[in-house]
Amino acid sequence: MEITLKNGDKLTLEEGATALAAAQAISEGLARSAACARVNGVLVDLMTKLSDGDSLEIVTIKDKEGLEVYRHTCAHVLAQALKTIYPTCKLAIGPVIDNGFYYDVDFKTPITIEDFAKIEAEMKKIIKSNLPIERFTLPRKEAIALMKGYSEKYKVELIEDLPEDTTLSFYKQGAFTDLCRGPHLPSTGRIKAFKLISIAGAYWRGDEKKKMLTRIYGTAFAKKEEMDEYFAMLEEAKKRDHIKLGKELKLFALLPEGRGFPFFLPNGMTLKNILVDYWRNIHRREGYVEVQTPMIMTRTLWENSGHWEHYKDNMYTTKIDGEDCAIKPMNCPGGMLVYKLSPKSYKDLPIRMGELGLVHRHEKSGQLHGLMRVRCFTQDDAHIFMLPEQIEEEIKGVVRIIDEVYSLFGFKYHVELSTRPEDSMGSDEDWNAATSALKKALEDLHLPYEVNEGDGAFYGPKIDFHLVDAIGRTWQCGTIQLDFQMPQRFDLEYVGEDGEKHRPIMIHRVVFGSIERFIGILIEHYAGKFPVWLSPVQVKVLPITDRAAGYAQKLTDEMNAQGIRAEADLRKEKLGRKILDAENEKVPYKLVIGDKEMEEGTVSVRRRGEGDIGSMPKADFFALVKKENDEKVVF
């Protein structure tokens, strides 16, 4: 039989040959690194038999999907080890997540992290046994009977929720069998490096009314060296934890009186306002106008926008004068109303309308995390209303802004194109046109991208920007969403060159995403050591003697008058203590002031990370800081 490879080459194999046999026929190296295969576009096990005319792509562990298969197989090894050590435990689900996997388990006797050593030892035995992993299927009724026979009540519940004509797949390794759609590695011996990481509680099916299960987190890598690098990154991440640094640097507070609602302190507000001012400057330059829309609007608005149907569970609602209202989770519906306030001509478009809007979204308490996951945040929104022929140029303009901003902070990024989700509104024609427009813009810009199937917004496809921080972690921040639906639902119009009324096309876009979350990312990216232009306090003035205190205060006042953010440390402490405290506060510059500096009108300068860089006239130092601030220098 003949199959077609990804590059178009033909490969001749014996009838009934597997995907693994095909990989071996290509090269032994490819077969060793293979995790699964894609046959006729469908991801399958390597042991899947091929048919004449099939198209085949071998997916290796270096590929994202291959690594996920590798880690999911390790989750099954974990489950088998748990059933061996704790025969009465009940298995729930064990999916792959970013950087690893977890398994939710119902234990009769709770386990702790101290039990990980014996669990890992059992996992190593299973891996060393190199058990073949075999797939088989059963109709729903037989699948229920099988899982009841194993006393796996959670699996039974999952199966019972499926239609009666469903056929389910299972995977067997040794004496252990688990419900799973797969695919998996051919055998347990393929796993080379793994580690159990942590333990937590998790409600069954995420429902607070259901039983609390034990969630065991783990990770797995193709090589031990890669796993060592990952854990080194985790250790570095602990040092950079924005919650810890936010408290130490007096940027924000997380208080029980407002769970999910961060309190910004003076230093944090300075940082936030710097970002807001920067945002306003670049958007003013790019022809955006700024608006502000109400925080609370009526239910009819949210029904019209589609949020009441598609997003209500994440919205805070209230009644005003007996009428149902909602606190806005997004700014866009308000922007629609602003557009409609006056008639528009084709000559008015594009209209680039920005809004720094405070939005509120209901997040479960267990999902809250510092500034990264909150219940209210400032979204740096903008909505662009345009003609169909302006789509590509406007998308390119947004990409240019996002690239400029991320490059300034030292972030690299990659791009994903997210397509139509199941829960969406609008016609196939509109969705196809919108998706094609985004693809064309990305291709014209020569921007490499991955397709993220089914992860678009309910009203349109989107381009997501995933930035990479200083220690290699990725964060999804910027997004460009092309929307044909909202202008229709709100009956937006403009008068065309032909004198007729037409419907504008709309872009939703953010650059920071959430300013609060972006601050959290910046704290961890810089480990709290902000560049001069971002630092809440740019200069700390440290007098050595009481006589120098007056000069120190005068210097501080002069700098603040010139726009340099400076503070004087007038405490009666030793110089070493003051320097250490300023270092711990991660202030970029320290000025040591004694009698000599006071007499000569100079300053003795210490730069963060370098120590003493010498003495200079105060005017020269002021000019140095102002230059670094204006040019947004990073040192």
Structure tokens at 484: 């044909």
Q: How far apart are CA 482 and CA 462, in angstroms?
A: 6
Q: According to the model, what pLDDT value does residue 430 have?
A: 82
pLDDT surpasses 70 at 245: yes
Q: How confident is the model over 89-107, as a mean pLDDT? A: 95
Q: How far apart are CA 627 and CA 633, in angstroms?
A: 8
Mean of pLDDT over the chain: 94
Amino acid letter, residue 425: M
Exactly one of 72, 215, 328, 508 is catalytic; name it.
508
Exactly one of 332, 380, 420, 477 is catalytic; name it.
332
Torsion of CA 357, 362, 363, 368, to 10 degrees: 60
Exactly one of 76, 242, 307, 361 is catalytic; name it.
361
C-alpha 61, offset from chain centre: 23
Amino acid letter, residue 501: K
Among 383, 273, 259, 387, smallest CA distance to 330 is for: 383
pLDDT surpasses 90 at 429: no
Q: Which helix (H) or strand (E) holds 320?
A: strand 316-320
Q: According to the model, what pLDDT value does residue 635 have?
A: 60
Instruction: Show the domains of the chain with their CATH numbers.
Output: 2-58 (3.10.20.30), 65-237 (3.30.980.10), 248-295+329-526 (3.30.930.10), 539-630 (3.40.50.800)
Lowest-confidence segment of 248-252, 530-534, 540-544, 598-602 by average pLDDT? 598-602
**Strands ordered across the beta sheet of 611-617:** 566-568, 539-543, 589-593, 602-607, 611-617
Lowest-confidence segment of 113-127, 154-168, 221-235, 430-444 by average pLDDT? 430-444
Q: How many CB atoms lie within 10 A of CB 94?
A: 22
Cα dihedral sign for 288, 376, 339, 384?
A: positive
Instruction: Express each pLDDT in 158-198 by its tens digit.
Output: 999 999 999 999 999 999 999 999 999 999 999 999 999 99
Exactly one of 173, 379, 481, 485 is catalytic; name it.
379
Instruction: Express each pLDDT in 554-581 by its tens digit.
Output: 999 999 999 999 999 999 999 999 999 9
Amino acid letter, residue 84: T
Mark whether 76 is an active-site residue. Answer: no
Q: How confident is the model over 499-504, as a mean pLDDT? A: 96
Instruction: Express each pLDDT in 440-488 by its tens digit.
Output: 888 888 889 988 888 887 778 899 999 988 888 888 899 998 888 889 8
Q: According to the model, what pLDDT value does residue 470 have?
A: 85
Mark whether 72 is an active-site residue. Answer: no
Which residues are 100's β-sheet partners? 97
Which residues are 466's β-sheet partners? 414, 476
Among 391, 171, 355, smallest CA distance to 280 is for: 355
Q: According to the model, what pLDDT value does residue 540 have?
A: 98
Mark whether 381 is an active-site residue. Answer: yes
Q: According to the model, what pLDDT value does residue 459 have?
A: 77
Exactly one of 242, 462, 502, 509 is catalytic; name it.
462
Instruction: Express each pLDDT in 376-398 by its tens digit.
Output: 999 999 999 999 999 989 999 99
Q: According to the model, what pLDDT value does residue 386 have?
A: 95
Q: How many CB atoms lie within 10 A of CB 133?
A: 24
Mark whether 379 is an active-site residue. Answer: yes
Task: Calculate the alpha carbon distances from 579 to 66, 78, 215, 516, 576 in Å.
Answer: 51, 51, 45, 30, 5
Contact, 240 vs 471, CB < 8 A?
A: yes
Q: How far apart are CA 409 and CA 406, in angstroms?
A: 5
Q: How many CA atoms lie within 13 A of 198 on its CB side?
A: 6
**How many residues comprise the chain?**
635
Q: According to the model, what pLDDT value does residue 431 have?
A: 86
Mark whether 9 is an active-site residue. Answer: no
In the block, residue with structure tokens 């029980």: 256
Contact, 95 vs 71, CB < 8 A?
A: no
Exactly one of 381, 430, 483, 569 is catalytic; name it.
381
| Helix then strand then coil, % of the chain, to nearest 5 | 40, 30, 30
Exactly one of 38, 272, 383, 608 is catalytic; name it.
383
